[in-house]
Structure 1
Amino acid sequence: MKKLINYKPNRTNGILLGILPFVLLLIVYMMGSEARLAVNPNDKLLPAFSQMGDAMYRMAFEPSKRTGELIFWQDTLSSLIRLASGVLIAAAIGLLVGLLTGALPLAAAGFSPLLTVISLVPPLALLPILFIVVGLGEMSKIVLIAVGITPFIARDIQRRTQEIPSEQLVKAQTLGASTIQILIRVLLPQVMPKLIDAVRLSLGAGWLFLIAAEAIASTDGLGYRIFLVRRYLSMDVILPYVAWITLLAFLFDYLLGKANQKLFPWSQEAKS
């Protein structure tokens, strides 16, 4: 008899096992919702799926009486623009700082301690400072995301750069390459797939900072809407919004992974 530790499910069984916990959670939720609504039809803690569907239909397909906008899609667009802007800024700065500190000993000696200290500062603690310095507009939310994940990306790129075999640098110098040429032609192509991996790992934190910033100072966005309706105990809106954020996060991670495979297939081959 095969020991459990040695059992590896095939593809079909793996998919079924992956789906099973979600099915069980849905069943448990439906049972709990029906039980609570049977006792109190006005209960808001565990709304039925029909109630959540009605609420989301109103927000996604019925224009707001106040602004005339489709609230759900406007919230999604606003949040995605903020998240994408913050992540792109963080990726650019993180790549530059990580590459330089990983490749140049002088840069590492001068900036690595500062980078380490900055990475230890809780980004949410800087939120009041950002509001004072850059105001309550869009820039503060984008800056918070960038400040929150840039140190992580920079340190990851720094470590990945330092892992590149020194023999490559010696060969490049033997062939007459300058420092700039080594950075651009030798190191940069090898750390680009690592950059995408670092961005994928930092997206969770990026969503956290986005939701926090929108909850404190915003007039639209997914985080803003969740914290706006919580005062009315509108779980029929909060739960679908949380599920939508989760779906978007999964979709972005999946697309970045596919982009990495498409743009840098050699990196995937090296891993395998």
Structure 2
Amino acid sequence: MRVINRHPRPGSGRVLMLLPFLLVGLGYIVVSTMRHEVNPSDKVLPTLAQMAAGMREMALTRDMATGQYPLLADTLASLRRILSGLAIATAISFGLGILVGMVPYLRKLLLPFITAFSMVPPLAVLPILFIIAGIGETAKVALIVIGTAPYIVRDLVLRVEELPRAQMIKAQTLGASSWQIALRVVVPQMAPRLIDSLRLSLGPAWLYLISAEAIAAQDGLGYRIFLVRRYFAMDIIIPYVLWITLLAVVFDAALRLAQAKAFPWFAGAARS
């Protein structure tokens, strides 16, 4: 049997899924232990015990200046910003993507501009946002919107164009107006695809958020990472990076679950 037709059994699949994580974790432990045997005060690769102690301090010790628990305050601040940015980007992209994809005049008018705008590096726009909107929340949320919305719009436009032409013709033959075609033919099929686009935008969204927080913020996960880097506090930086990764993975899993529950027909078609 060809290797492309061989599928792992459920038990073997779970083992294969966990294996890379176990190997990376084991490799880190081995290298960290070796470095600390040579230099017990090494700060580059802290031990698991040192990272656990650092995170325990961030999670359970109140900040003397703010009276808050740093890990909780940073997490809530970052989640508020990224959820706001993604919500705005999703609302803009869904409507605009469907309109541009359906209406030839709008596609001709707006798609080249959206394509060009999506090529602008969002991080290069960050100083402009700080000048225009200040260093408050608006600039950080706007950076996430600018960085993710054009990509989602372009992806949805392509998905609309891929819809079978026969569906549109049948709907028009039955007397459906453009508005009815949008609501009853296009929107139901684009909604699950919007979730896919949103999932693919999570990584860039976190990148833009961390960058904005690192430059101008008083709280947030990115702010904390760049604050403690002055002290070479890798026992805090590495766990914070892992925590951000875990949050992104949870977001992705939640979106995937929502897609499977709300659009089982789409998830079944994707598996087949």
For normalisation by structure 1, the TM-score amounts to 0.95
Q: Distance in 2 between matches of 1:107 and 1:22?
A: 46
Between stretches 28-37 and 205-214, larger displacement belongs to 28-37
Deviation (angstroms), 1:5: 5.9
Between stretches 181-190 and 83-92, larger displacement belongs to 181-190
Q: Distance in 2 between matches of 1:54 and 1:32?
A: 19
Q: Distance in 2 between matches of 1:20 and 1:60?
A: 29
Q: Distance in 2 between matches of 1:123 and 1:17?
A: 36
Equivalent residue letter for 1:248 = L
Does residue 94 (structure 1) correspond to residue 93 (structure 2)? The answer is yes
Deviation (angstroms), 1:3: 6.6
Q: Distance in 2 between matches of 1:152 and 1:244?
A: 26
Corresponding position of 2:231: 232
Deviation (angstroms), 1:119: 1.0
Deviation (angstroms), 1:75: 0.4
Within a 5 Å distance, the mapping from 1:42-53 to structure 2 comes to: 42-53=41-52
Deviation (angstroms), 1:25: 1.8
Does residue 126 (structure 1) correspond to residue 125 (structure 2)? The answer is yes
Equivalent residue letter for 2:13 = G
Corresponding position of 1:203: 202
Deviation (angstroms), 1:213: 0.6
Between stretches 2-11 and 44-53, larger displacement belongs to 2-11
Q: Distance in 2 between matches of 1:24 and 1:162?
A: 43
Deviation (angstroms), 1:65: 1.3
Q: Deviations over 1:16-71 (max 9, x none)?
A: 12222222222221122222222222211111111111111111112111111010
Q: Distance in 1 between matches of 2:177 and 2:186?
A: 12
Within a 5 Å distance, the mapping from 1:30-179 to structure 2 comes to: 30-179=29-178
Q: Deviations over 1:58-97 (max 9, x none)?
A: 1111211111101001101110111111111111111111
Instruction: Give the number of aligned pairs.
Output: 271
Corresponding position of 2:258: 259
Rate the CA distance shift 1:260–1:27 in 2: closer, same or farther, 3 A. same
Does residue 216 (structure 1) correspond to residue 238 (structure 2)? The answer is no
Q: Distance in 2 between matches of 1:58 and 1:211?
A: 22
* Structure 2 SS opposite 1:256: helix
* Structure 2 SS opposite 1:212: helix
Between stretches 169-178 and 145-154, larger displacement belongs to 169-178
% identical aligned pairs:
51
Structure 2, unpaired ranges of 5+? none
Equivalent residue letter for 1:236 = D
Q: Distance in 2 between matches of 1:169 and 1:16?
A: 46
Between stretches 72-81 and 7-16, larger displacement belongs to 7-16
Deviation (angstroms), 1:7: 4.4
For normalisation by structure 2, the TM-score amounts to 0.95
Does residue 14 (structure 1) correspond to residue 13 (structure 2)? The answer is yes
Deviation (angstroms), 1:228: 0.7
Between stretches 85-94 and 176-185, larger displacement belongs to 176-185
Q: Distance in 1 between matches of 2:193 and 2:3?
A: 35
